Amino acid sequence: MPPATPARAVPRRTAAVLTALALAGGGLTAGAAASAASTAAATPAAAADSPVRVNQLGYLPDGPKRATVISSATTPLTWQLRDVSGSQVASGTTTVHGADRASGHSTHLVDFGGYTGTGTGFTLVAGGQASHPFDISASLYDGLRADSMSFFYQQRSGIAIDASLAGSAYARPAGHLGAAPNKGDTSVPCQAGVCDYRLDVRGGWYDAGDQGKYVVNGGIATWEIVNSFERARRSGGDTALGDSTLRVPERGNGVPDVLDEARWELEFLLRMQVPAGKPMAGMAFHKMHDDKWTALPTRPELDAEQRELHKPSTAATLNLAATAAQCARVYNTYDPAFAARCLDAAERAWAAAKANPAVLAPAADNTGGGAYEDADVSDEFYWAAAELLATTGESQYQAAVTSSPHHAGPVDGFWWGGTATLGRITLATVPGVALAPDDVTRLRGLLTSAADHHLSTMAGQGYPVPITADAYVWGSNSAVANNAMVLAVAYDLTGAQRYRAGALESLDYLLGRNALDRSYVTGYGERASENQHHRFWAHQNDASLPHPPAGSLAGGPNAGLEDPVAKAQLAGCAPAACYVDDIGSYSTNEVAINWNASLAWLASFAAERRSAPTAPAVQVTPPAVTVPEGGSAAVGVRLSAAPAQNVTVTLSRSSGDADLSVAAGTTLVFTPSNWATAQQVRLSAAQDADALAGSAVFSAGGSGVTAATFTATEADDDSAPPAASCSVAYKLDSSWSSGFTATVTVKNTGTSALSGWTLGWGFAGDQKISAAWNATVTQSGSAVTARDAGWNGALAPGATASFGFQAAYSGANEAPARFTLNGGVCA
């Protein structure tokens, strides 16, 4: 196969990036930029496939850079990375992977991550064959972030699509507002027997290639779009999703454009709620679409079929409760009145779902639109409760979360029919959620465990992707993107680079590093899909209509072959190759709002500018410790952040008194999962005859970490203080994982009264007192001094005084070995 030339790909890829940059920076008018994107999306993709499979858009300078080569060779091949002039800039040899089950290919892997340059028009050559051209750039995903979101504007119902925003090829009148021949969405009747009234359910997004509107799919799509903003706000990347960053008519209104877009669907979801005073008030109608399947192609404004509301369902109601609760939390900063509307709708929906917990949508209701049936809504109950808890903190939602079987179970893949993991993500990431800290930590651990499972799956494949060979089903690309989101969430929770690398390599798959050498995203890549199943973006059926716009994600390989075109053209295909770029193959090549929402979330994550990861720092607590002569004391050692891989920390004395040494814990190993847990190091002080209280400086460091130092001081006992007539009882009252309370009782065992007392001791570990009562307590390093409170300072012979304190600690919590009273040692 001849190597592809870069000339065809550059205008398509560059136009998309140029659009986003121009709108963000004001360098072009929106109309000019959108026209460039429109022209780019219409460019045909006729390049031949290549056995050297790459991300056809390119790679981030600080991300993974890997490719797959189809070859039956059993020994490594030589590869070269060439720049746009053809000059070699890097080289190496492949790693033989062998058979890849999902594709049926014999594969080699190439890793050129050591190359740190940037530029356009790179090609990778292996075995005498060249890849399609690609870029290496920090701004690589800026265009896709904007275009994948523009998809939603162009899927809007009930509003004219503006040529200045979408491009002239995509401009159209408003669909389904009642202008003939539309019967409209402003006064829609129910199916027979469902209700005796009409509702205004205008607006929202057309769901997929059809022009129906479904609450259950609108719910997950809306959550993903709004969550992308929530995540970016936590990471500090929300400016890139702010006002005037997207091609939407609301730009410039002071609200982040991504929230403006999501609100278009949220308003529709709110309209789908059964009104007060009607049967099943507070529930949500399951869906709304034509009473028969609309012909392909059909422009939205020319649809003449009757629209109708379908029976309310528990699943739809809980989707409304979840997304409206999320709305109340996120939009409150920008529009408190709208946020209050959302919260009211969410609470009414929750109450209605609790009263109607098993109103299920039937699988047979599939005339004119998809059934979106769901026989198990326990996951939707968990999701809705999680969102309401994160927003309100109320105990009823906390109880619903913690009593759900989904709360303790492993993290599973999410989709419109399985939404529990959306709730887990919210509970694990929203600050201040009303759950016990240990419970939040457990949820975060479940998410990172799921991410590790995805990485393990990817590691065994010739085309690394976070789904198994038997998971190429309808919408497989959505499963890839959703699992990649879990990887990205794990990165946000831990900072471990392997999770970010997994998320980015999932994008590599969607953008061309796959069994078909095809980018499944229109307008992105030399061989990009452009005939997705759609009733308006239908150029393949009608040359007067456009191809799908740049940034539209195809459903992807589906081994089930569930449409006539797939059955005719793909018989005998390997699972990962069961795809055809044909408008008639709705089971492999349709678009959908929930699929594009995942792509938009990932593109936003990938587009964030990130500084080079800094090495985690070693932290030692306490930073100064007193070690009794002939005894020992402990310090706790941990890292400040997760390392990218296992790191070894070595402790040693760097200067000072040779009597002080590390007795236990000289070598510590920290992993990406245990970095935050303090490991104990025990220091000892040798017994000798001198009367010197020496000190020493210790270092704790190693490769991949920033070292720390700490100080140890010997408490010499050769010039012991005088004995005092006293005894001390030290009682541990209560203890938990990170703290404790204790009571100390000092007794005057002498024959003379004391008019005031000062008690001293040293902790052997990292205990740190935070509060005290009935005494004035101060602490310096491990040394503690407690002075009477005045009223309890007089101690007659045989009398006692007690005081208490609360302290934090990690590791061992040993009682003090020695106490002094007014400078003398107690018995």
Which structure tokens are listed for 662? 């590390």
- What does the alpha-carbon distance between residue 560 and residue 330 come to, in Å, rounded to a whole number? 40
Would you state the torsion angle of the CA atoms of residues 524, 527, 531, 537, taken in this order, to the nearest 10 degrees?
Answer: 30
Look up 534 and say whether it is catalytic.
no
In sign, the C-alpha dihedral spanning 531, 372, 503, 224 is: positive
For residue 473, the SS3 value is coil
Q: First-to-last CA distance in the chain? A: 90
- Contact between residue 380 and residue 322 where contact means Cβ atoms under 8 Å apart: yes
pLDDT number for residue 685: 86
- What does the alpha-carbon distance between residue 758 and residue 783 come to, in Å, rounded to a whole number? 13
* Catalytic residue selected from 135, 142, 185, 210: 210
In sign, the C-alpha dihedral spanning 226, 228, 231, 234 is: negative
- Element containing residue 820 per DSSP (H, E): strand 819-821
- Element containing residue 711 per DSSP (H, E): strand 708-715
Residue 350: half-sphere exposure toward Cβ, Cα within 13 Å: 23
pLDDT number for residue 272: 98
One-letter-per-residue 3-state SS of 525-552: CCCECCCCECCCCCCCCCCCCCCCCCCC
- What does the alpha-carbon distance between residue 365 and residue 192 come to, in Å, rounded to a whole number? 13
Query: What are the backbone angles phi and psi of residue 73, rounded to the nearest 5°?
Result: -60, 140
pLDDT number for residue 26: 36
- What does the alpha-carbon distance between residue 480 and residue 509 come to, in Å, rounded to a whole number? 9
pLDDT number for residue 695: 82
Q: How far is CA 271 from CA 140, 159, 370, in A?
A: 39, 16, 20
* Catalytic residue selected from 108, 310, 406, 533: 533
Which structure tokens are listed for 739? 């703290």
pLDDT number for residue 592: 98
pLDDT number for residue 382: 98
pTM to 2 decimal places: 0.74
For residue 446, the SS3 value is helix
Look up 453 and say whether it is catalytic.
no
Pure H helices in 692-735 = none
pLDDT per residue as tens digits for the range 32-82: 333 333 333 344 445 789 999 999 999 999 999 999 999 999 999 999 999
In sign, the C-alpha dihedral spanning 105, 108, 113, 118 is: negative
* Catalytic residue selected from 265, 452, 581, 717: 581
pLDDT number for residue 28: 30
Look up 210 and say whether it is catalytic.
yes
Beta-sheet strands, E only, within 95-223: 95-99, 106-111, 119-126, 129-130, 134-136, 188-189, 198-199, 213-214
Give the amino acid at 449: S
Query: What are the backbone angles phi and psi of residue 37, rounded to the nearest 5°?
Result: -65, -40
Angle at 47 between CA 41 and CA 49, to 5 degrees: 125
Give the amino acid at 299: R
Look up 380 and say whether it is catalytic.
no
Helices (H) and strands (E) in the chain, counts: 18, 35
pLDDT number for residue 12: 31
pLDDT number for residue 43: 42
Average pLDDT across each block of 10 residues of the chain; the chain has 827 residues. List them in order.
28 35 34 37 61 98 97 97 97 97 98 95 96 97 98 98 97 96 95 96 97 98 98 91 96 97 98 97 98 95 97 98 98 97 98 98 95 97 98 97 95 96 97 92 95 96 98 98 98 94 98 98 97 98 98 98 98 98 98 98 94 78 85 88 85 84 89 82 79 78 88 72 87 85 94 91 88 90 89 92 91 88 86
- Contact between residue 550 and residue 524 where contact means Cβ atoms under 8 Å apart: yes
- What does the alpha-carbon distance between residue 335 and residue 321 come to, in Å, rounded to a whole number? 19
Give the amino acid at 416: W
Pure H helices in 511-653 = 564-569, 586-589, 593-607
In terms of Cα–Cα distance, which of 809, 820, 803 is closest to 742? 803
* Catalytic residue selected from 365, 590, 629, 716: 590
Give the amino acid at 4: A
CA 754 to chain centre: 63
In terms of Cα–Cα distance, which of 285, 387, 314 is closest to 346? 387
